[in-house]
Amino acid sequence: MKYSLVLAALLSVASFAANGNGEKREVVSAPSNITIVCPAGECKKSSNALKTEQNVLTAQKDILISVVGQGVAPVNTSSPAQAYALAKRAAIADAYRLIAEKVKGVRIDGQDLVKDMMVKRSTVRTSVAAMVRNANIVETTFKEGLCEVEMEITLSRSQFPQ
């Protein structure tokens, strides 16, 4: 009985070791510059899933990007009409920024100041720089000093020189 238990334990250890050695890993670069490490045979499935999830711009298919920008009217305005005009301008700028963020991306810089093992200051800076052309305002709403502008832009492959 004792010997059979020892033999079973040895066999289980041996099988674990065999599994560990046989688990070959392969590296597949995902379309979005993400490196995925996964066991052999499972990467195909995950990379295909990623491809289907991503909205890729092709010659046949255009991409429609829709955003909602928000702007606030200043406190000291001379009339409700002026408040609306100013808030709308701010909302349009916000919508442009959101489109630029989606199409071109955001640069993020972070800085933490640690002194005597304590975080003294934590700063995150983000910036966006882009040129937006042919964006269309779909809808504008103004309610309680907040203006919302829905903006759309259609991206087609022909707009980008190859």
Partner 1 sequence: MRSRDGNHSFTLSISTIIFSLLYASALFADEYIISYRYTVKDAILYNETLDISKAMQKCSGKPYNSIIFNTTKSQNLKDILRANEEKFLNFLSKLGLDIRYYDTTSDSINRSTTVVILPSKCFKVDFNENFVKIAPLK
CB of 86: closest distance to partner 1 in angstroms?
5
Which two tokens mark 42?
A: 């499972």
**Is residue 135 near partner 1 by the rule CB under 8 A?**
yes
When binding is defined by CB under 8 A, the residue of 28, 38, 68, 132 that contacts partner 1 is 132
Buried b (16+ CB within 10 A) or exposed e, 26-47: eeeeeeeeeeeeeeeeebeeeb
When binding is defined by CB under 8 A, the residue of 8, 18, 114, 130 that contacts partner 1 is 130
Q: Is-contact 80 143, C-beta < 8 A? A: no
Instruction: Give Cα separations from 3 to 10, 12, 16, 42, 145 (angstroms).
Output: 11, 14, 20, 39, 83
Residue 93 DSSP code: H
Per CB under 8 A, the segment of 22-30, 35-43, 54-62, 71-79 that binds partner 1 is: 71-79
When binding is defined by CB under 8 A, the residue of 36, 47, 50, 70 that contacts partner 1 is 70
When binding is defined by CB under 8 A, the residue of 12, 15, 48, 126 that contacts partner 1 is 126
Question: Which residues are at the interface with partner 1 (CB under 8 A)?
Answer: 70-74, 86-87, 89-90, 92-94, 96-97, 99-101, 121-135, 137
